[in-house]
Structure 1
Amino acid sequence: MERVDLMPPPAGDDAASREAVAARADAYAAAPLLNCLLREVARPVPGRGDGGHRVYRLPGADRLLRVRGGRRPAEPELYAAGGWHRLGHTELVKLVADELRRHTGVANDELPAEMSDSRDAVAALLTARAGATPPRDPYLRSEQSLLTGHPHHPAPKARGGGPAAGWLPYAPEAHARFPLALLGLREDTVAEEGDTSALDALGTAPPGYRLLPAHPWQLDLAARELAGAFADGRLLRLGTTTWEAWPTAAIRTLYAPAHDLFLKFSLDVRITNDIRRLWRHDLLRLRRTDTAVARAFDGGPGAWLSDRGYRTADFAFEALAVLVRDGFTGHLRPGATPLLAAGLVEGFAGNPLDTAADPAAWWEAYLAQVVPPALRAFAEHGVVLEAHLQNTLVAVDAYGTPVQALFRDAEGVKLLPEVTREAGWERLVYCLVVNHLTELAAALAERHRGLDPWPAVRRELSRHGLPEAAALLTAPTLPGKTNLLLRWTGADGAAARYLPLPNPLATAQR
């Protein structure tokens, strides 16, 4: 099974519907978990695959595991007592946990719970989507399409273990949209930097106060921390916006179409590798980083959605922080439609990967928009974009052809010489090539049998006079991030450890 069916489950509350949702949730949750296990721990067994199966050895206890499919592995089976036995998601989690304990010598009770939480979240999302109406705007549809999420993370949909009722109303995957809470922040407690003037246009604050929008889930999570400020008047509740905001794939980043503005909030919830809080140290370096990136994009290819400033309270600096990000005005080419790159991989109604009349030409156009801005920023300005699937938007024309790339999120950007050139290049290769182009190439080849996407990537990289890019064409391996081992060993979310993956560029025909 190469692709997980993205149609919603049948509506209804009968046993058959619940069983169908459970089976689909297992499949969605198993695919990224298996990707991690097969990449980071398991070893392929040559000659043992048959009928679409691939067989792997789990070295911890010398067990054999087989799966179907490639890009999204499915139907895991364990060999025991002379035969293959199908693993449900619960059994798969237990197998992975046992293998990691043996492999690392480290115990971890937290990550298996996150794996189960991720699967349960998918089930809740599938049920909610069956009764939800997708947005008409293709951009918003692409942002809200990620039921699988990060394809190489063991628990990409975990939501902190809380009940679904607490987070489901704000879930992009459930096609949520909602008004923002508006707070009045006493003027003498305001902490801000950069251009935050757009926030003042979202409502009206009383004299002596400044307007501070808040994510409703954020207020629920921080209720105890903020109770004193509401009691003594440092914070006032001013109601909600008259318009609705749409959660994007990043969950805590919302798009407000009425103001063509993105707003990023703190959420004290672990999502993938990190607690999604706007950390003080990141906010304090925001202006320097964003200015460097904007300079790198000035006059060059592509566009940068600037993180132009932040506003918060000095008594709850991280909990109440809101970051103001550019919308599309002044950046997007006239007549073009932006689409999230991760959405192209996942799939949504209107996905140009499904409708491209000439997929090879479409892919060349895509590469011509996405690759040059990232390489130019690195080579000429020492800027390492976090150009992965979720931080890249690709604008297409009326025919679905890519005509522009837009990048976002200064928080993930690294600057030379804050990191070494070698470390910066490794990170760029992982984000742009492994996380981004490899996934999109596989999705394209899956939809258009017979297409080899890698010669076009070679040609695009060879057009740039960057020594590292030339070396990449013959390097035997690419760096693959070890998200499973990082989470199991409790490494910091910002840490990155890589293992070597076969480099398809080195074997692609020129």
Structure 2
Amino acid sequence: MHRPPTAEAEVADELAAVRPGLVPRYTAELPGARAAVLSRLWRAFAHEPLPWIAGRDPARDALVLRLRDGRRLAGPAADPYRTDAYVAVVRLDGVPYDDPARLVTDLAVPHSAGFAAELGHSVASLALSRAGQGNHPDEWPASDWGWEQRVVDGHPFHPNCRSRPGFSVADQLAYGPEHGPVVGLGLVPVPASGCLVSGGWPRQLRDGTRLLIPVHPWQAAHVLKRPCEEVLAAHPLMSLRTLAVPGGPHVKTALSARLTSSVRDISVASIAASAAVSDFGQALPAHTGGLLHVTRTLGAATAHSPDLAAVLRESPGAYAAPGEHVVPVAALAGTALPASAAWRAGFARLALGVGLRLLELGVALEAHGQNLLVVLSPSGDPLRLVYRDLADIRVSPARLARHGIDAPGLPARMLTDDPTALRRKLFGSLVGGALAATAGSGTALREALAAVVGDLPTTPDLVALREEPLPVKALTLMRMSPRTAGDMWAQLPNPLC
């Protein structure tokens, strides 16, 4: 059967046209990129409630999946917390597959065709990201964006870790943080009377009666389809659509493209609520004994369109004392720090202590490796946490009321008293995300958690963390369920059991 050109081949052709010197490195990185994506995919097949899997037969060093159509899919034993590319090949009825896109294509289960295309793009984009990344010097970066640009592989557990549909090779080289570009943001003038503003809007982004809204150049060209003079030099952070202006704020731009899983525009509702949410966030550090900082939203504006909006945020670096470093948790794996069991335990004690304290009060952070940052001492000890982007937290009005805390103006979608929903939000992101990815394996995660949970205050939430399966987002199931809105969940083996 004739197969269309693969994403790998298409990227190679584009790369030969725009950066031919990078083609050999890109080609050399492809096998490792396939294994990295296949490892993430195998984790999903082993643990997510995918409807076309009838059963799972684990052995000591292997796992066999029984499909509902009678086929068998076999691979290595799956550690749900392992982050290295340990799956090189799986076998579908004895036929070996090292290419995740081809595997999902040949599985031919519902909605597999679209997901296979995303996987192919993820592999090719990951190989490109690795090819374009130079060797890091031993010294730590001096800038906040320097840390962010060290995160080359994207989401540690999502098979779509580097999927950027709609981005050409030239776009990725020009805008991808791992390639280290300087991006020129445009400023689109919009009459102030036609905008919704939340919080303040700086004088330098005003022109008489007009607001100047920062716009990503990709958005200007592909969505707004208008010329936009690039006047604000900025450095892309790991989310790609948020950029750091040297000496200024972090600017979250609307980027109406699907990155990993979600389209990254900015809803009008989120702009309207941003000031109230930011004010609420500023009250949280007082309840953590000074162990948490929350970055402020300095201003937000929209032209009443999710395609033309921007949010200005305080840089997390504002919370570092001289000699300290503020490091996104996602970047920790690229340092030598997690190699130390004592360091992992110290970080787990800090992160779990703060997360569980806030959860008891009624605030469930989405503390994954992008939102959560750690303040490190000059010698690398974890001192405090910084949290940014409160848009997806969950808040329990009943728990807040028990502790005499007010939360006026928060959007309804944030509010829930359901303990399952609150625990999913925190445990899935912090334990199944940030701590697991930093540890790098189930064994290391178990050791770190076991070293600290006995010292934490006993609450119903801690009991659930110690005794119940660990909830995480079922990322592959969500991508293969296009008609189902909202988050879907999987239950991983409890690392403490």
TM-score (norm 2): 0.81
CA contact (8 A) 2:271 2:301 kept: no
Shift of the alpha carbon at 1:239? 4.5
Partner residue of 1:360? 341
The residue that corresponds to 1:193 in the other structure is 198
1:250 to partner: Cα distance: 1.2
User: Which among 302, 310, 329 is matched to residue 300 of structure 2?
Assistant: 310
Q: Which residue of 1 aligns with 2:105?
A: 94
Post-superposition offset of 1:218: 1.9
What is the CA deviation profile of residues 285-306 of structure 1, one whole-angstrom value per residue up to 9, with x for unaligned ones? 2223222222122353211012
- With over 3 angstroms needed to count, the CA separation of the structure-2 counterparts of 1:342 and 1:491, relative to structure 1, is farther
| Deviation (angstroms), 1:265 | 0.9
Residue in structure 2 matching 1:420, options 417, 442, 466 = 417
String of CA shifts for 1:327-355, please: whole Å, max 9, x gaps.
1365334431011111223x2xx44335x
Give, as a single letter, the amino acid of the residue that structure 2 aligns with 1:325: R
1:411 is aligned to: 391
Once the two structures are TM-superposed, the CA of residue 108 in structure 1 deviates from its matched residue by: 4.6
Distance of 1:339 and 1:407 partners within structure 2: 11
Question: Which residue of the partner structure matches residue 117 of structure 1?
Answer: 121
Encode CA deviations 1:56-87: one digit per residue, 9 max, x unaligned.
2242333132148851332123164xx66343
Alpha-carbon distance between aligned partners in 2 of 1:340 and 1:487, rounded to the nearest angstrom: 26
What is the DSSP-based 3-state SS (H/G/I as helix, E as strand, rest coil) of the residue aligned with 1:269? strand
Give the counterpart of 1:396 among 376, 383, 386.
376
Match of 1:464 among 457, 477, 488: 457
Secondary structure of the corresponding residue to residue 173 of structure 2 = helix
Which deviations, in whole Å up to 9, do the C-alpha atoms of 1:444-467 show, x marking residues without a partner? 967x9xx9323124235xx22422
Contact 1:29 1:148 in 2 (8 A): no
The residue type paired with residue 454 of structure 1 is L
1:12-51 alignment to 2 at 5 Å?
A: 13=21, 17=25, 19-40=27-48, 41=50, 44-47=56-59, 49=61
Question: Offset at 1:175?
Answer: 2.0
- Is this contact kept in 2: 1:480–1:498, CA < 8 A? yes
Change in CA separation of 1:139 and 1:92 when aligned onto 2, cut-off 3 Å:
farther
Return the alpha-carbon distance in structure 2 between the equivalents of residues 421 and 333 of structure 1: 38
Corresponding residue for 1:3? Answer: none
Between 168-177 and 294-303, the greater mean CA deviation after superposition: 294-303
Q: Using a 3 Å threshold, how does the CA distance of structure 1 residues 156 and 19 change in structure 2: closer, same or farther? A: closer
Distance in structure 1 (CA, Å) of the matches to 2:22 and 2:286: 57
Measured in 1, the distance between the counterparts of 2:95 and 2:495 equals 32
Cα deviation for residue 132 of structure 1 reads 10
Quickly say closer, same or farther: Cα 1:455–1:141, change in 2 above 3 A: same
Partner amino acid, structure 2, of 1:160: P
> How many pairs align?
449
Give the drift of 1:401: 0.9
Please give the secondary structure, in 2, of the residue aligned with 1:263: strand
Q: Do the aligned partners of residues 442 and 285 (structure 1) sit closer, same or farther apart at CA in structure 2, a change above 3 Å counting?
A: same
Superposition map of 1:162-173 within 5 A: 162-173=167-178
Match of 1:129, SS state, is coil
Residue 233 of structure 1 is matched in structure 2 by none
**Is the 8 Å Cα contact of residues 297 and 373 (structure 1) preserved in structure 2?**
no
Distance 2:492 2:177 in 1: 32
Partners of 1:131 and 1:425 in 2: CA distance = 39
Name the stretch that deviates more: 283-292 or 12-21.
Answer: 12-21
Structure 1 CA distance, aligned partners of 2:199 and 2:155? 32
Cα deviation for residue 15 of structure 1 reads 8.0
- In the alignment, is the contact (CA less than 8 A) between 2:100 and 2:116 conserved in 1? no
- Which amino acid in 1 is paired with 2:487? A
**Are 1:369 and 2:369 an aligned pair?**
no
Aligned counterpart, 2:271: 283
2:431 is aligned to 433
Residue of structure 2 equivalent to 1:503: 494
2:409 paired residue number: none
Counterpart residue type for residue 361 of structure 1: A
SS in 2 for 1:410: coil
Deviation at 1:485, TM superposition (A): 0.9
Q: Deviations over 1:188-216 (max 9, x none)?
A: 3332111222xx346xx544333322221
Closer, same or farther: CA 471–28 of 1 in aligned 2, 3 Å: closer
- Alpha carbons of structure 1 residues 438 and 132: separation in structure 2 relative to 1, 3 Å: closer
Tell me which amino acid in the other structure corresponds to 2:301.
R
Q: Are 1:273 and 2:234 an aligned pair?
A: no
2:241 to 240, 247, 252: 252
User: Deviation at 1:17?
Assistant: 4.4
Residues 183 and 234 in structure 2, CA contact (< 8 A), matched pair in contact too:
yes
Aligned CA distance change for structure 1 residues 238 and 190 (closer, same or farther; 3 Å)? farther
Percentage identity across aligned positions?
A: 23
Q: Is this contact kept in 1: 2:46–2:78, CA < 8 A?
A: no
Judged with a 3 Å threshold, the aligned counterparts in structure 2 of structure 1 residues 27 and 87 are, in CA distance, closer, same or farther, namely closer
Unmatched tracts of structure 1, length 5 or more: 1-10, 231-236
1:7-62 deviations in Å (ceiling 9; x for gaps):
xxxx985986454132233223322222222222565534363xxxx332242333
Classify the secondary structure of the residue corresponding to 1:411.
coil
Select between 142-151 and 435-444 the one with higher mean Cα deviation: 435-444
For residues 255-308 of structure 1, give each alpha carbon's deviation from its aligned partner in whole angstroms, at most 9, with x where no partner exists: 12322x111111111112211111122222222322222212235321101223
1:322 alignment partner, one of 290, 306, 310? 310
1:396 Cα deviation from its structure 2 partner: 0.8
| Closer/same/farther in 2, CA of residues 238 and 262 from structure 1, 3 Å limit | same
| SS, match of residue 173 in structure 1 | helix
Q: Which amino acid aligns with 1:252?
A: R
**Alignment CA distance shift 1:223-1:360 (3 Å):** same
Whole-angstrom distance in 1 between the partners of 2:163 and 2:133: 17
Matched, 1:218 2:213: no
Is 1:129–1:173's contact at 8 Å kept on the other side of the alignment? yes
Counterparts of 1:284 and 1:217, CA distance in 2: 25
